[in-house]
Amino acid sequence: MDNQLVKTFKALGDQNRLNILAMLLHEPLFVCEISQMLHLAFSTTSQHLTILRNAGFIIDTKEGRWVKCDIDYQSSNPYAQSLLNLLKQWLDKEVSFKQGIELLLTKRPEKTC
């Protein structure tokens, strides 16, 4: 079996990583914002982001002393590209999940960490 396919599905096999992707499908966020909104330790958040990045779901850019994450719409992983499209469709239809993500986004820190 294709190792990239396994890596892609493993990346989606965690509730926190699905939450991160759902939030990033709405807007790019700083790592510290994601950490605060999900009530996760910074190191735990970084581990989740590394898994998502390695699977081709997200990219990050440095802005001053902060790192901003966004969806990688140009991913070289064709599985990630296809699944991101499906994930967006599924999340838009899943009312309770969508409401949960919107609630998380309302808890976004007023000021960049």
Mean pLDDT of 94-104: 74
Mean pLDDT of 12-18: 93
Mean pLDDT of 28-50: 93
Q: Domain range holding 94?
A: 3-103
CATH code for position 59: 1.10.10.10
Residue 26 lies in a domain: yes
Residues 81, 74: Cα–Cα separation, whole Å: 8
pTM for the model stands at 0.85
Residue 113 lies in a domain: no
For residue 112, the model assigns a pLDDT of 67
Concatenate the DSSP letters of all residues of the chain into one string: --HHHHHHHHHTSSHHHHHHHHHHHH--EEHHHHHHHHT--HHHHHHHHHHHHHTTSEEEEEETTEEEEEE-TT-S-HHHHHHHHHHHHHHHH-HHHHHHHHHHHHT--SS--
What's the domain count of the chain? 1
